[in-house]
Amino acid sequence: MRRLIESWIAAADQAGSLLELLTVLDLSRHSPIGSARTIERWLDAPEAIQGARYAPVRAAFIAAARALLEYDAGERQRAIGIPTLLTVGDEDEVLPPVHTRALAAVIPNAVVAVFAGCGHQPFQEQPDRFNKLAADFLSAANIREQTVSA
């Protein structure tokens, strides 16, 4: 995963526009079928964000990617006290299902749902199936409202 994020940083640095960056990122986050449709749904005109307009996007993306490389959740996952649904695509190259299953092993009451034919973001590639799964899970867990603290 570290090498993948480092490759994203290099792509952001070398890309001359948001469209170029999104194209590179999209290859690692979605299945080939999902990849062909996703960029158009995200933005109306990503090719317009280039040159000087792309510079702050590049800087923000690189800062966020570097923060990912430095983050360590430690043992906090073990403290999760409510039923937890973890979703993953079976074609996820960013965090393959093996990592999702390892995380589920340390979270009490965690459930793993693997989406066939999906990459890193099943909620975008199969939104109807994802939404139904999430609604059914929350309903079964009787979670209506939860206060979230940092």
Mean model confidence pLDDT for the chain: 83
> For position 4, what pLDDT does the model report?
83
Asked if residue 149 belongs to a domain, the reply is no
Asked if residue 58 belongs to a domain, the reply is yes
> For position 67, what pLDDT does the model report?
95
- 35 and 88 housed in the same domain: no
- The continuous run of DSSP H or E covering 111 comes out as strand 110-115
What's the predicted TM-score (pTM) here? 0.68
Parent domain of 112: 76-140
CATH of the domain at 124: 3.40.50.11320
* Residue of 49, 63, 2 whose CA lies nearest to 21: 49
- What is the tens place of the pLDDT at every residue in 28-67? 665 555 554 555 555 656 667 778 888 898 999 999 999 9
End position of a domain, from candidates 43, 70, 97: 70
